Amino acid sequence: MTETEASTAEKPWPVRTVARKIGDWIHRLGAVWVEGQVTQVSSRPNTQTAFLTLRDPSADVSMSVTCPNWLIREMEPPLREGASVVVHAKPSFFFGRGTISLRADQIRAVGIGELLARIERLKKLLTAEGLFSAQRKRPIPFLPKGVGLITGRASAAERDVLANAQGRWPHVRIKVLNTAVQGSQAVPQVMRALRIFDADPEIDVVVIARGGGSVEDLLPFSDEALCRAVSAAGTPVVSAIGHEPDTPLLDYVADLRCSTPTDAGKRIVPDLREETERVRQMRDRGRRALHGWVDTQTRLLTQLRSRPSLADPLGPVQRRQDDVDVHRERARRAMLTLLAKDQAELASSRARLTALGPAATLARGYAVVQFLDPEGNLQVLRSVSEVEAGAQLRVRVGDGAIGAVAEGEQG
């Protein structure tokens, strides 16, 4: 079988053939500029080759780099682990081990100015995407039931946060996850701890804390991947990195920025003494307000009770009863007067009728006799002799005619 034939299950290539083909393909690649963080430096004085390990700070990816030993010794300042560098290297394949590495001929340390310029460009990019917007920031709970603290192991930042938080609120529950806070391992470890706390229902707020340091030391907290992870977290995040002048990009994307870890311990929980005093003041204010309201209502009731209608509720009724009695008596007297008047008029009318009636006239023996003369005129009889024979007599008693008297009869 020749190496030009296709590889099949029946006619597979040997390892040497595969390694040679991979090496031929890799060796055809040109030199490239690579940026990363140095995680390991091995430069022995009696050797001609130095070995480096470059790591991508935003991902769990690393590559081996070889270079002449003098290239490491001539670098100023000396190359150390955690430094950011730019390497000009050509990929190479080691046939015997089947591994790939970079063969470097230039190594340049990334200066502070270049680091700050890159951070500034990333800041503008994240600002344009809205990751620093105040509208997306979540409020910190007033009294979180659990606090997640991400910081270095046995660090001053951890002691400051714990001491201040527990001093203000002794019953606060704080879970601590220790991670690297500088170097190539810082970003992935902090992101892993953030995911753990974000998935914990007992954690209401996450604090990422670190003490002060150089720009290179704080570089992981301006990493783009970490900033995006904090922005995507569902739990509010507090940034407490470095001192007051230190402002990594994490400060802008976090929901709350604290100037120092000590400041974070004071701001994530309330002060028990202050809250107790505030409760006492509010209780006193409530008591005074209640007493004032009761006094006001008492005065109002006193004023209402002092009014005549409530001070003597039966008085108006009694006065109205007296008025009713007076008007009733007045009506009775008026009625009696009217009846007496009508009775007097009735008696007077009866008396007149009795006096003018024929019965009374006859009872006195008095009569008026009228007769018709020959001409037919009605005349009053003064004597019997005046009546002619055959005359008709009419007797009137008072004003009424009683009847006619026949001829020769006396009336």
Q: Does the predicted TM-score (pTM) go above 0.85?
A: no
Domains in the chain, number: 3
> What tokens does 273 get?
């003494």
Same domain, 102 and 201: no
Same domain, 214 and 245: yes
Lookup: tokens for 263:
């400041």
Percent of the chain's residues with pLDDT above 70: 87
Interatomic CA distance for residues 4 and 28, integer angstroms: 19
Assigned domain for 236 exists: yes
Q: In a 10 Å sphere around its CB, with 0-12 CB exposed, 13-18 middle and 19+ buried, how is residue 237 labelled?
A: buried
**330 belongs to a structural domain:** no
pLDDT value, residue 178: 94
In this structure, are 81 and 200 located in the same domain? no
Average pLDDT over residues 89-109: 84
Say whether both 241 and 130 belong to one domain: yes
pLDDT recorded at residue 16: 81
Given a cut of 70, whether residue 245 has pLDDT beyond it is yes
- pLDDT the model gives residue 388: 54
One domain for residues 205 and 167: yes
Q: Domain range spanning residue 249?
A: 125-137+145-273
In DSSP terms, 176 is beta-bridged to: 149
Checking if the pLDDT of 115 tops 80, the result is no
DSSP single-letter state for residue 58: T
Query: Which pLDDT belongs to residue 350?
Result: 86
Q: Are residues 218 and 186 in the same domain?
A: yes
Q: Does any domain span residue 233?
A: yes
Please indicate, yes or no, whether residues 104 and 222 belong to a single structural domain of this protein: no
In a domain, 173, yes or no: yes
More confident residue, 212 or 291: 291
Using pLDDT thresholds of 50, 70 and 90, give the confidence band for residue 399. very low
Q: How far apart are CA 183 and CA 81, in angstroms?
A: 7
86 within domain boundaries: yes
Q: What is the DSSP letter of 97?
A: T
Top pLDDT among 291 and 381 is at 291
Domain boundary among 209, 240, 273: 273
pLDDT in tens, 84-93: 888 888 888 8
Short-list 199, 202, 259, 260, CA closest to 234: 199
153-202 residue pLDDT tens: 888 999 999 999 999 999 899 999 999 988 778 889 999 999 999 999 99
Q: Is 253 found in the same domain as 185? A: yes
Angle between helices 186-198 and 224-232 (to 10 degrees): 0
What number of residues does the chain have?
411
Min mean pLDDT across 269-283, 297-311, 383-397 is at: 383-397
In terms of pLDDT, which residue wins out, 240 or 409?
240
Range in 51-60, 132-141, 353-362 the model is least confident about: 353-362
Check whether residue 228 and residue 92 sit in a common domain: no
> Residue 159 has which token pair?
């002691």
Q: Is the pLDDT of residue 24 over 90?
A: no
| CB-count exposure of residue 103 (10 Å: 0-12, 13-18, 19+) | middle
CATH of the domain at 150: 3.40.50
Does residue 44 lie within any of the structural domains? yes
Q: Is 319 inside any structural domain?
A: no
Residues 150 and 75 in one domain: no
Note whether 102 and 190 are same-domain residues. Answer: no
Higher pLDDT, 246 or 267: 267
Q: What is the mean pLDDT of residues 203-213?
A: 91
Give the range with max mean pLDDT: 24-28, 71-75, 133-137, 391-395: 133-137
Considering only 67-76, 172-181, 202-211, 272-281, which range has the smallest mean pLDDT? 67-76
The H or E element that residue 107 is part of is strand 99-109
In this predicted structure, what is the pLDDT of residue 162? 93
Which tokens sit at 401? 């005619």
Do 337 and 345 meet the contact criterion of CB atoms below 8 Å apart?
A: no
- Residue 177 falls inside a structural domain: yes
Express as a percent the part of the chain with pLDDT over 90.
35
Task: Report the C-alpha gap between 254 and 328 in whole angstroms.
Answer: 93
pLDDT of residue 22: 84
CATH number at residue 59: 2.40.50.140
Q: Inform me whether the pLDDT recorded for 385 exceeds 90.
A: no
Residue 116 has a pLDDT of: 75
SS (HEC) of 265-305:
HHHCCCCHHHHHHHHHHHHHHHHHHHHHHHHHHHHHHHHHH
Bridge partner residues of 147 (DSSP): 174, 205
**Final residue of a domain: which of 273, 308, 325?**
273
Best CA proximity match to 209, nearest among 249, 175, 161: 161
Residue 112's pLDDT is what?
Answer: 66
- Shared domain check, 245 and 203: yes
Looking at residue 167, its amino acid is: G
Single out the residue in 254, 273, 292 at which a domain terminates.
273
What does pLDDT average to over the chain? 83
- Between 127 and 310, the more confident residue is 127
pLDDT tens digit string along 319-378? 888 889 899 999 999 999 999 999 999 999 888 887 776 676 667 666 666 777 778 787
Give 176-234 as a 3 state SS string. Answer: EEECCCCCCCHHHHHHHHHHHHHCCCCCCEEEEEECCCCCCCCHHHHCHHHHHHHHHCC
